[in-house]
Amino acid sequence: MLARVANNLFWMGRYIERSEHIARFLNVNYFSSLDAPTTESQSRQRVLRSSLFMTNTVTTSVDHLLDEQEVLFNIALNIDEPYSIINAVRNARENANSARDVLSTEFYEALNKFYHAVLRYDPNHFKVKGLFEFTTLVTESTAILREKIRGTLFHDEVYAIIMLGISVERAIQVSHIIQTKYTDALESTPNDELFERSYEWITLLKCIESHDMMRRFYKKTPDSSNVLEFLVLHPDCPRSIMNSINRLNKHILSLSMEKLPSKNSTAYLVGKTQAHMAYLSIETIEEDIQGHLTQIRETLYTIASSIEKEYFLYN
Amino acid sequence: MLKYQIFYEAVNTYEVPLREAVWQFIILPEDNDTQKLRFFQFSNSENIPYDQSVDGFLNSTIKLVTKKALREITFTAHMDVEKKEINPFQNIKNSTPGQDFKMIDDLVFKVDHEKFLFPTALTSIPQQFQKLFVFDRKETIFSNLCHLNQWSFEYFTFKTEVTTTESSITEILDQRKGVCQDFTHVFCGLARLNGVPARYVSGYLHQNNTMVGDLQMHAWVECYIPGTGWVGFDPTNNLLAATHHIKVTHGRDYQDCAPLKGVIYLTGSGNNKTEYTVRVKEVKEFKERTQQEYRAEDFAEVKRDLENRFSNPSYLKWQQQQQQQ
Amino acid sequence: MNVSEHPIFSCYQQHSEFFDEIFEEDGNVKEVYKKLFEIYSGHTVEDFASLNNNAKSSFFNQGITFQVYGDQEIKEKIFPFDLFPRIIDSSEWDHIEKGVLQRSKALNHFLHDVYHDKKIIKDGIVPIELINSSANYLSQMNGLEPPGGIYNHISGTDLIKHSDGKYYVLEDNIRCPSGVSYVICNRTALKKALFGVFDAYKTFTVTDYAQNLLEIMQTVKPEGVDQPNCVVITPGIYNSAYYEHSYLAKAMGVELVEGRDLYVEKDKVYMQSINGAQRVHVIYRRIDDQFIDPMEFKPDSTLGVPGLFSAYAKGNVTLVNAPGTGVADDKAIYTYMPDIIKYYLNEEPILNNVHTYHCSRPDELKYVLNNIDKLVIKPVDEAGGYGISIGNRLTKDEIEEVKKTIAASPRKYIAQPIMSLSVHATYIEESNSFEPRHVDLRTYTILGKDKDFVLKGGLTRVALQKGNLIVNSSQGGGSKDTWVLKS
C-alpha cells in the first residue's frame, strides 16, 4: 500500500475516534452535572472549563466567566476552531477521500452521510436545544463507522492501519479524559478523602461509557482507586488504555515484517509499553497519579509519531 | 587532431534549504565524425550518486536526485575531447539555386524535416520582423545562409546581461543586443521561415583571441543544405562552425537542450541562483592520470576560476527558473 | 398508447424538427419503448418525485460528485441522473460498436504514422500544418514505439442522432476521456430505483468495463515484465473527476497514486509503499501530457513525476493513453476522419462525420463569416463545451463579436452546420413530469495488444435546460442509464 494512503487511513481513523470522544465527553459532562450531588459538581462554569480543557487542553482561569453558547458552539460546530468536532469530521472525510479507492463503498457512504449531517447541522438549533441530539448523532455515527470498518473491509494492512489510528487515538483521548476528570476531582474536593470518593469518578466512567461495566465487575462504589485501575489497567475494559495498547500491539505486529522487532522500531516500542503496563499496579500509580498520567500520555504521543515516521514517509 | 580539456562547474545556492531536488545535465560532448569524447568525470560537493539517462530527444543526460536539506551544491565535470581539424567549406557540394529550392519546396522534404522547420515559441519571428531577411532565390541556399550569418552578426551587438533565457524573441529583435543564444534563435527562426531546416546547437567554444562567446556554454546553428547535409553556422562570430566548436547536442531551441534543468522543492519560499564556470583549454597531450590526481587538479582549477570570475567582468551570472512549492 | 394520455407525460410537447427517441411522429410509442412506457405509466406523479429525490440523495451520499469552480467557492455537485433510460436495440448497437471500433483503430494507425514516417502527410491527405501547429503534438514522441503498439488505449466517442435519424460522430476524445464511472453509477441507481423494469428487457451489463480495462492494460506491459504492476494516477482529490479515478482504481483493484507517490530511479518508476519502494509498470494516467513530467514538459507542474518521460522513452513503463495522442483528437483532425479511415484501413467509414468548414481555408472562412447564424462555431482546442457559439442563438451584436474573434485567429476555429440532437423523455423537476430534452451518447472503446473492447452501453448525456444543445456536465447537463439490448 502507498505510504501516503496509509497516512490518510491512519489519520482518518484518528479523527473519527476523536470526534466520538469529544462528543461523548461534552454530552456526559454536561448532562451528568445537571443533577450532581454537590454544588461544585453542578457548577456550569466548571463543566464548561473542563470541556474546553479536555478538547483543547486550554486552562481557563476561574475568574473568567465563560459564555455557555459560545463554548458549546466552539467545541462542536465552529469551523474556525481546529479542535472542533466539525473539523475532526471534515478531516476524517478529507483523508478518506484521498484513500477512497481502498475503502469499501459502504464505509465511505456512511462517512460521507455523517459528514454532510454534521456540516448541515444548524448551529442556532444546536446552541439552544441541540446538544443532546448533536452529540448523539456523532457517537452513533462513529459506532456505525467502526462496524463498517470491521465488517466491510478485508482485514489486511488497510484495516490494520485504520485500527492503529483508532487505537492510538482512543488511548490518547481516554488519557485526556482521565486527566481532565482527575483535575476536576481535585478542584471540586477540599480533602483527600472526599477526593477519593468524588462524584467526578462516576462522571469519568460515564464519559468513557464504562460505568455499567465497572459496576458489574467491582460491585463497589466507584472511587479514585478502582476507577483508575479499571480505565488504565484492565485489559478487558474495551476502552481502557491497556486494552488499546493490546490492540495497538496486535495491529503493529501484523504490519511489521519482523518476528523479533528491532530496537527503535514502533513494534519494539509498543511491545515494551505493553509489557510495562501489564505489570503496572494501581498501587504504583497512586504513589504519583499525575506523574503516571503524564508519562502514559507522553508514551502514546511517541508511539503515534513513531508509526508515522516508520511507515508513512513519502514526498 | 586537436585535444581539448573542458572544465564545467555550476554552483547552485538556495535561500532556504531544499526539501527535494532533481537535476539534469546535458553537458557531455557527443561523439560524431569530427569529435570524440575520450574521458569524462562528473562529481558534486555532496557526493550524490548520479544516473546516466536520456531525455525525450534522446540527449544523453546526467541525473541526480536528493532529499538532503542543502543550501548550496557545486557540480563539476572534466571532459577530454579530440577534435579533427576541418575546413567546413570543403564539404559543401556544388549545386544550383534552382535545384536547392526545388528540393526544399518538396512536401516529402518538409515532412521529413518538420521538426526543424516549424517555429517554436523561442524561434517564432513576429510578423513585423519577418521581412528583415528574405532569401534570394537566385542564389544557392548555402550562399543565402552565409548572408544570413553575416546579417545576424551585423544586426546584433554582442552584449551580456541585456537578455535572459526568459526574454521573448520580440524583445531580442527590438533591442538588437544579446548573446549567442539570441543570435542563434533569430537565425533559426529566419532560416525556417524561408524553408530551410535549422537546429539549435549547444556546445563549447574554444576561444582564441578573435572569437566572442563567453556565455558559459556556446550556441550556434546547424542548417540542412540539400545535397550536403547539416552545416554549422556561428552567427555570433560570423563563422562556419569548425575546429573550435565542440558540439554537445542539438534541438529545436534552447529549451530542448538546456544544459541544466532542475525541479526544486524548497522547504519554504526563497530564491535560488546558479553560477557557471566553463573553460576550454587546448593541450598537447591528455595526461594519463589517476582519479586522485584528477581531483587534486580540479581543486586547483576551481580556485583559479574563482579568482578569474572576479577579475573578469564579462562572466555572466543568471538565475534559472526552477520549481518551488 | 399515446403521449398525452398519461399525467406524467402531460407536459411532453413533440417537435417535428427533432428526432424523438421514444415517440413516433403520430404520438405513438416506439415498439422498443412500449413495455417501459407501460410500466412507467403505472406510476403516479408523486411516485416519480420521490424516486427522483431518492436517486439524487443516493448519489450525494455516495459522494459521486464533481466540483464546480465558481467565482468564490468550490461547490460539490451531483451529476443529475435521469430516471428514464435510453434504449438502443441490438442491430443499432452493432452499427455503433463497429463504427467506434473502426475509428479508434484508424486513429491508432494515424498516431503511429504521425510519430513515425508521416506517410499520410507526405501523400498530401492531411496538411502538415495541422500536425506541427497543434499544441498537442509532442515532438518527443517521434520514433518512439509504445509498448504493444497502442497509443489511444481508451477512446471516448461522442455521437448524436440527427433529425434524419442517423448517428453522427461529433468528437473523438483520446486524451483522457472521462465519464465512464457515471455509466456504471447510473445503472446501479436505476436498478435501485426501478428494479422492476429490468424484468421486461434483456440488457447487457456495464460493470465489466474495469475488468476489461485492467486486462487490456496488462497486454501493453513493458517488455520483459511478467506480472505488471498497474496503477491509476490522479491529480488529486480536488480534481473534478476524482470520483472516477478512485472508482476505476478500486474496481480494478490497483493503487490510485498521485505524482508525489512516485519517483524515477535509473529510468525505472517506483511507488513509495509502507514496505518501501515498489516497481510500477503500467500507468493509467488521468493527468494531461503537459503535466506528467516537469523535467520534460511544463516545468512548474507539481502533479507529475520528474523523469517519467525518460522511463517511458526507455520502454520501462507504459503510459495509458500514450503522450501526444491529443494531436489526433484535435477538432481540425476530426474533419479528416473519413479520409483517415479509408487511408489506413481501406474501409468506408461506418459512422457519419459532420461536415466541417475550416476557418483556416480562406474560401471556407468566407462562407463561415457570411453564414454564422446557420453554424456552430467551435474552438479547435477547448474541451468541456467552453467557447462554443451556436449561430442561431446569437444576437446581431454577438454575431459581429464572434466574426471578429474568428477573423483574428481563423486557425483556432472550425464551423459545422447546426446539428439537431435527438430528444428523449427526461424527468423535469420544475414541471414534475417528463419532457423532451436533447441527448447525445459517449461510447468507450479500449484497445490493447491483440485485444479490444467496446463497452455495451455508454453515457447518454442530456441537456436539462429547455432547448440547450450542450450536454456537458460542467454546463448543467445530466445523464441517463443507457441500455444495449441483447438480440
The domain segmentation of chain B, as residue ranges, is 2-84+259-311, 89-256
What distance lies between CA B38 and its chain's CA centroid? Answer: 20
Give chain A's mean pLDDT. Answer: 92
- CA–CA min distance C23, chain A (Å): 38
At residue B322, does pLDDT exceed 50?
no
Q: Given C131, C133, C300, which is nearest B323 (Cβ)?
A: C300
- CA–CA min distance A259, chain C (Å): 15
Secondary-structure percent of chain B, ordered helix, strand, coil, rounded to 5: 25, 35, 40
The answer to whether the beta carbons of residues A201 and A214 sit under 8 Å apart is: no
A2 to C272: CB separation less than 8 angstroms, yes or no = yes
Domain B2-84+259-311: which CATH class? Answer: mainly beta
Whole-number pLDDT of residue C310? 92
At residue B312, does pLDDT exceed 60?
no
φ, ψ of residue C132 to 5 degrees: the values are -70, -30
Average pLDDT over residues A264-282: 94
Q: Which chains touch C (3 or more CB pairs under 8 A)?
A: A, B
Whole-number pLDDT of residue B300? 38
Contact residues on chain C for B58, CB-CB shorter than 8 A:
313
At residue B298, does pLDDT exceed 80?
no
- CA–CA min distance B175, chain C (Å): 28
Q: Beta-carbon neighbour count of residue B168 at 10 Å?
A: 13
The per-residue pLDDT for range C334-385, each reduced to its tens digit, is 889 999 999 999 999 999 999 888 888 889 999 999 999 889 888 876 555 5
The answer to whether the beta carbons of residues B74 and B80 sit under 8 Å apart is: no
A112 to C61: CB separation less than 8 angstroms, yes or no = yes
CATH number of C355-417: 3.30.1490.270
| Minimum Cα–Cα distance from C234: chain A residue | A98
At residue A82, does pLDDT exceed 80?
yes
The per-residue pLDDT for range A97-147, each reduced to its tens digit, is 999 999 999 999 999 999 999 999 999 999 989 999 999 999 999 999 999
Contact residues on chain A for C274, CB-CB shorter than 8 A:
1-3, 6, 157, 161, 255, 311-312
| Minimum Cα–Cα distance from C62: chain A residue | A109
DSSP C367-425: HHHH-GGGEEEEETT--TTTT-EEGGG--HHHHHHHHHHHHH-GGGEEEEE-----EEE
pLDDT over 70 percentage in chain C: 94
At residue B295, does pLDDT exceed 60?
no
Round to the nearest angstrom and report the end-to-end CA distance of chain C: 25
**B67 at C interface, C-beta within 8 A:** no
Contact residues on chain B for C306, CB-CB shorter than 8 A:
22, 65, 263
At residue C426, does pLDDT exceed 60?
yes
Contact residues on chain C for B111, CB-CB shorter than 8 A:
118, 121-122, 128
Whole-number pLDDT of residue B291? 52
Whole-number pLDDT of residue B281? 87
* C-alpha–C-alpha distance, residues C358 and C373, integer Å: 16
**In the structure, what pLDDT confidence band is assigned to residue C476 with cuts at 50, 70 and 90?**
low
Average pLDDT over residues B167-191: 90
**C314 at B interface, C-beta within 8 A:** yes
Q: Given C61, C256, C271, which is nearest A101 (Cβ)?
A: C256
The answer to whether the beta carbons of residues A101 and C255 sit under 8 Å apart is: yes
Q: Do domains B2-84+259-311 and B89-256 have the same CATH topology?
A: no
Whole-number pLDDT of residue C246? 94
Average pLDDT over residues C416-444: 90
Whole-number pLDDT of residue C69? 66
C246 to A101: CB separation less than 8 angstroms, yes or no = yes
Q: For residues C67-86, b (16+ Cβ closer than 10 Å) or e, as one string?
A: beeeeeeeeebbbbbbbbbb
Which of B50, B63, B166 is the best residue to mutate to test the C interface, defined by the most C CB atoms within 10 Å of its own CB?
B63
Interface residues of chain C, partner chain A, Cβ below 8 Å: 60-63, 232, 236-237, 242-243, 245-247, 249-250, 255-258, 260-261, 263, 271-275
**C125 at B interface, C-beta within 8 A:** no
CB contacts < 8 A (B, C): 70
* C-alpha–C-alpha distance, residues B293 and C107, integer Å: 58
pLDDT over 90 percentage in chain A: 73
| Minimum Cα–Cα distance from A108: chain C residue | C62
CB contacts < 8 A (A, C): 69
Whole-number pLDDT of residue C4? 53
C294 to B323: CB separation less than 8 angstroms, yes or no = yes
| Minimum Cα–Cα distance from B23: chain C residue | C295
Whole-number pLDDT of residue B306? 33
Whole-number pLDDT of residue B307? 35
User: What 8-state DSSP symbol labels residue B92?
Assistant: P
- CA–CA min distance C114, chain B (Å): 10
**C11 at B interface, C-beta within 8 A:** no
Whole-number pLDDT of residue A288? 92
Whole-number pLDDT of residue B310? 32
**In the structure, what pLDDT confidence band is assigned to residue B299 with cuts at 50, 70 and 90?**
very low
Tell which CATH architecture fits domain B89-256: Roll (3.10)
**C450 at B interface, C-beta within 8 A:** no
User: What 8-state DSSP symbol labels residue B275?
Assistant: E
Contact residues on chain B for C122, CB-CB shorter than 8 A:
107-108, 111
Q: Which chains touch A (3 or more CB pairs under 8 A)?
A: C
pLDDT over 70 percentage in chain A: 98
The per-residue pLDDT for range B73-99, each reduced to its tens digit, is 999 999 999 999 888 888 889 899 999
**In the structure, what pLDDT confidence band is assigned to residue C95 with cuts at 50, 70 and 90?**
very high
The per-residue pLDDT for range C115-174, each reduced to its tens digit, is 999 999 999 999 898 888 788 999 999 999 999 999 999 999 999 999 889 999 999 999
Whole-number pLDDT of residue C70? 63
Greater model confidence, C268 or A61? C268
| Minimum Cα–Cα distance from C141: chain B residue | B56
- CA–CA min distance A21, chain C (Å): 24
**B57 at C interface, C-beta within 8 A:** yes
The per-residue pLDDT for range B117-130, each reduced to its tens digit, is 999 989 999 989 99
Give chain C's mean pLDDT. Answer: 89
Greater model confidence, A180 or B297? A180
| Domains of chain A by residue range | 3-311
User: What 8-state DSSP symbol labels residue C305?
Assistant: -
* C-alpha–C-alpha distance, residues B111 and C118, integer Å: 7
At residue B321, does pLDDT exceed 50?
no
Minimum mean pLDDT among A168-172, A309-313, B63-67: which range? Answer: A309-313
* C-alpha–C-alpha distance, residues C476 and A165, integer Å: 40
* C-alpha–C-alpha distance, residues A82 and A80, integer Å: 6
Contact residues on chain C for A1, CB-CB shorter than 8 A:
255, 273-274
* C-alpha–C-alpha distance, residues A100 and A2, integer Å: 13
| Minimum Cα–Cα distance from A117: chain C residue | C61
* C-alpha–C-alpha distance, residues C221 and C233, integer Å: 16
Contact residues on chain C for A105, CB-CB shorter than 8 A:
62
